Amino acid sequence: MTSPIDIEDGGTAAVADDAPQPAKAGEEKGHEGRSPGQLMWIRFKRDRTGVVSACIVILYFAVSALAPLIAKVYGKNPYTLYAREPEYPFLLDDFAMPTGSFGGMSGDFWFGVEPKLGRDVFTMLLYGMRTSLYMAVLVTTLCVVTGVLIGMVSGFFGGRVDYWLGRVTDFFLAFPQQLFFIAFMPVVTAMFVSPQDETPTYLRAVAITLVMWFLGWMGLARLVRGSVLTLREREFVEAAKVSGASPWRIVRKEILPNIVTPILVQATYILPSTILSIAFLSYIGVGFVEPTPDWGRMFAIGADVYEQDPMFMFFPGVALVVFVLSFNLLGDSVRDAFDPKTGR
């Protein structure tokens, strides 16, 4: 269809109604009708560092989830002492160190074998990643949920509620985390297991989760509280209150969607920090113990034999550094995608 328009000589000209119209002021070209989530995804895909980091993180989680299947195809497991098996009579030398170069690496043992016991390093690393990642995801989830709930309640209601929740947060922040881990872990396990009995692995996992949850939610709670204190004074929140919306609806519909970004970014920093803490606990002997495969246990073993067999610590060290670095870079990319003003 066409419509006439006036021209300078007094005549008219036909213009198609469906002809493209110029963009309105303030409207970004190519972004019409796109939600904030779609814009965030577009910005994230342009960040090559973030995309590569996300692929590495996904690969780690996929390998951890498929660790039993990979070990089955590989034909080894992290528990068998292969140096004592008749088909591998020369895995260790007279000093219980791996024979051959690079820690005993071969077609049968891709990453070599463990000194003294002769376990397969590749499957130890697979199952150690699995243990650490599963624990870190659980602890991070609990810390995020707790921090968001306490911070939301404290910031939204204010007054005496904010005061007392703030004092509770300050109380937990006063604990020295590393020392508390060392001191409290044996207490937790002793509450359920006799000193003469071996502590089950599942109980150690529960104790680690409780201790790290106990001391891991306060930073996020303070962050959420500060954000909510700012948002609750905004016009759209006041309008929701005037319209008669319930506090739960205001929190769920008006406030929570506006603090998703800092929550998500903070979670990407909590998870790698949690992995390092779990490895630290196992390294000093108050976390997971033999024969449970764990990154921290591998570092503890490697610290004893690094002069004779430096390769034993190489693979878990590289794997841990790459994962933590990738997750931190992923957190930076997610932050930049949500808020391009903070771009690096």
By three-state DSSP, how is residue 16 classified? strand
Q: Select, from the ranges 61-70, 82-91, 178-187, 281-290, the one with the highest average predicted confidence (pLDDT).
A: 61-70
Beta strands per DSSP E along 89-243: none
**pLDDT for the residue numbered 37:** 65
Q: How far apart are CA 186 and CA 331, in angstroms?
A: 34
Place of tokens 């303030």: 26
Mean pLDDT of the chain: 80
The pLDDT-based confidence of 344 (bands split at 50, 70, 90) is low
**pLDDT for the residue numbered 118:** 83
Return all residues near 295 (Cβ < 8 A) that are at least 6 apart: 128, 129, 131, 132, 275, 278, 279, 282, 316, 319, 320
φ/ψ of 108, rounded to 5, equals -85, -35
Model confidence at 255: pLDDT above 80: yes
Residue of 175, 133, 169 whose CA lies nearest to 149: 169
Tokens of 305: 């034999």
Torsion sign (Cα): 190, 193, 197, 198: negative
Residues 23-37: pLDDT tens digits? 444 444 444 556 666
Written as one string, the DSSP assignment of 100-114 is SSTTT--SS-TT-B-
**pLDDT for the residue numbered 11:** 47
Residues 184-229: pLDDT tens digits? 777 777 777 776 777 778 888 888 888 888 888 888 999 999 888 8
pTM of the model: 0.79
**pLDDT for the residue numbered 248:** 83
- Provide the angle, in degrees to the nearest 10, between the axes of the packed helices 260-283 and 311-338: 170
257 prior amide bond cis, ω within 30: no
Written as one string, the DSSP assignment of 193-231 is S-TTSPPPHHHHHHHHHHHHHHTTSHHHHHHHHHHHHHH
> Residue 4's beta-bridge partner residues?
14
Query: Using an 8 Å Cβ cutoff, are 223 and 151 in contact?
Result: yes
**pLDDT for the residue numbered 8:** 44
Centroid of chain to Cα 131: 14
Looking at residue 294, the DSSP 8-state letter turns out to be: -
Q: How far apart are CA 228 and CA 241, in angstroms?
A: 15
Average pLDDT over residues 49-57: 90
**pLDDT for the residue numbered 139:** 93
Place of tokens 């929740």: 165
Q: How far apart are CA 343 and CA 337, in angstroms?
A: 8
